[in-house]
Amino acid sequence: MSDPIDTKQTFCPPAATEGREASDLQTSPARRAFLKTTGLSALGAMIGMTIPFERNLPAGLIPVALAQDSGEELMGGKQGLTLLSDRPLNVETPAHLLDDDVTPYERMFVRMNGLVPQTALDMNAEGWTLVIDGEVDTPLELTIDELKSRFENVTRPLVIECGGNGRAFFQPGTSGNQWTTGAVGCPEWTGVRLADVLNAAGVKDTAVYTGHYGNDVHLSGDDEQEVISRGVPIEKALEEDGIIAWAMNGQPVPALHGFPLRLVIPGYPGSVAQKYLTRIAVRNQVHDGEKMGGYSYRLPAYPVAPGTEVPEEDMEILTEMPVKSLITFPETGASVTPGQASEVRGHAWAGNGDVQAVHVSIDFGQTWTEAQLDPPPNRFAWQRWRANVTLPQHGYYEVWARATDMNGVSQPPVSPGWNPRGYGNNIQHRIALIAA
């Protein structure tokens, strides 16, 4: 069969296609199985319609409609975001598009480890239940209506940040999605407290950890294979911040973000925030689900030199995310008038609670000015910061931002703690600013 598509124009960058030959997937059993189970593929969901000849689309080839980024309906409405890979779907948000206090759907990053399940593509929650079992007195099986009526409903903005956000800045590079700064967002979630639901089931003294399950489809199309199943220490699950959400920004949780139910457990890597949530098992040991072991979401137990091969048994689970900030205004490369005060602003957040301070520098970190920092609307929402900068004369400047958490720990000017899979990089965010 001849290839009708101009591959030179539309292949996505090497990071997303590495190790995959276009021809490999064209006719593979996995790909056929996938097409059978999912009428509207994740790629189709982004374009907003089915792709009848999708089986002919070489892996890694970005449809022109997406590459040109020319309409509202493209990227599932996520216009202007960056597609890192299409199978699984991974999309990040440029910093200047994260300026909203509450991140709208259109600007929320997407991290899929597998394929969006059919129930989500159809937005069909009929018969959906959530099972709570394991080390509990009374296992529960709750419908969404029961969740809504039995427990207090709460609405709060909460940050979700992928553990691999910032991976692209590590040297040497590490495998995985090359997220820069945009695998983070702070939508407003509505649901019930995870702790209330666990307490209703009665957590036994033997409880150690949670294990989370969803119904998304493995990339192989094999129903038996788990996509991702992570968990948190029971103490974290019983804090009052985590929620089981059915709405994001006042709408049913969208297909790409976990319809009809998802966990949001702020402060920890986004991977614990199970989408398409069907079950929470309370475990009497550290959870051993998919992506809990090996090098997934784990860090060396001790500092290592960049590039070191670390034995698997020396890896520890990544828990609290480090303090971080973003400059969301202006866009990098913007021009301002020399000698005049210009506003720069952004958000700051920390995995262990609130942020104490944000400082900015316009002289490559020689001197720092404290920014005005708003309190968060609730714990684990990101906090707005603003500062005025005056660039003394014509030329090229950078604005650097540095947040400090409640323990006095600040973001470093270079990538911290290299680790084999590139997690937890909270290097200071920098933008270019031109005085002209």
Q: Which residues bind Mo ion (CB under 5 A)?
A: 111, 162, 270-271
The answer to whether 422 touches 176, Cβ cutoff 8 Å, is yes
**Among residues 41 and 361, whose Cβ is nearest to ligand MTE?**
41
Rg of the chain over all Cα atoms, to the nearest angstrom: 22
**Among residues 81 and 110, whose Cβ is nearest to ligand MTE?**
110
Residue 110 interacting entry, from ligand MTE, Mo ion, none, C-beta within 5 to 8 Å by type: ligand MTE
- Give least dist CB 237 to ligand MTE, A: 15
Q: How many angstroms separate the CA atoms of 116 and 14, rounded? A: 24
Kind plus residue range of the DSSP H or E element containing 23: helix 22-26
**Among residues 75 and 183, whose Cβ is nearest to Mo ion?**
183
**Among residues 55 and 291, whose Cβ is nearest to Mo ion?**
291
- Give least dist CB 183 to ligand MTE, A: 6
- Give least dist CB 98 to Mo ion, A: 17
Q: What is the per-residue DSSP string for 93-155?
A: --GGG--SSS--GGG--EE-SSB--HHHHTT--TT-EEEEEESBSS-EEEEHHHHHHHS-EEE
Using CB positions, name the residue nearest to ligand MTE.
Answer: 270
Within 8 A by CB and 6+ apart from 275, the residues are 214, 216, 253, 257, 258, 262
**Among residues 44 and 258, whose Cβ is nearest to ligand MTE?**
258
Is the dihedral angle over the CA atoms 250, 112, 418, 272 positive or is it negative? positive
Q: Give the C-alpha distances (Å, rounded to integers) separating 155 from 258, 334, 381.
A: 17, 36, 12
**Among residues 111 and 236, whose Cβ is nearest to ligand MTE?**
111
**Among residues 213 and 400, whose Cβ is nearest to ligand MTE?**
213
Within 8 A by CB and 6+ apart from 62, the residues are 10, 11, 12, 83, 86
Using CB positions, name the residue nearest to Mo ion.
Answer: 162
Residue 275 interacting entry, from Mo ion, ligand MTE, none, C-beta within 5 to 8 Å by type: ligand MTE
- Give least dist CB 207 to Mo ion, A: 25
Burial of 348 (0-12, 13-18, 19+ CB in 10 A): buried
Residue 231 interacting entry, from ligand MTE, Mo ion, none, C-beta within 5 to 8 Å by type: none
Residue 112 interacting entry, from ligand MTE, Mo ion, none, C-beta within 5 to 8 Å by type: ligand MTE
- Give least dist CB 291 to ligand MTE, A: 8
- Give least dist CB 129 to ligand MTE, A: 16
- Beta strands at 184-185 and 369-370: parallel, antiparallel or unpaired: unpaired
> Could you tell me which of 98, 90, 125 has the C-alpha nearest to residue 17?
90
- Give least dist CB 434 to ligand MTE, A: 32
- Give least dist CB 11 to ligand MTE, A: 24
- Give least dist CB 405 to ligand MTE, A: 21
Cβ count within 10 A of residue 344: 22
Q: Which residues bind ligand MTE (CB under 6 A)?
A: 108-114, 160, 162, 214, 216, 227-228, 257-258, 270-271, 273-276
Residue 228 interacting entry, from ligand MTE, Mo ion, none, C-beta within 5 to 8 Å by type: ligand MTE
Residue 399 interacting entry, from Mo ion, ligand MTE, none, C-beta within 5 to 8 Å by type: none
The answer to whether 25 touches 61, Cβ cutoff 8 Å, is no
Within 8 A by CB and 6+ apart from 376, the residues are 354, 382, 383
Residue 355 interacting entry, from ligand MTE, Mo ion, none, C-beta within 5 to 8 Å by type: none
**Among residues 315 and 362, whose Cβ is nearest to ligand MTE?**
315
**Among residues 109 and 397, whose Cβ is nearest to ligand MTE?**
109
Q: Is the backbone of residue 333 left (phi > 0), alpha (psi -120 to 50) or beta?
A: left
Q: How many angstroms separate the CA atoms of 117 and 113, rounded? A: 12
Tokens read off for 152: 């207090």
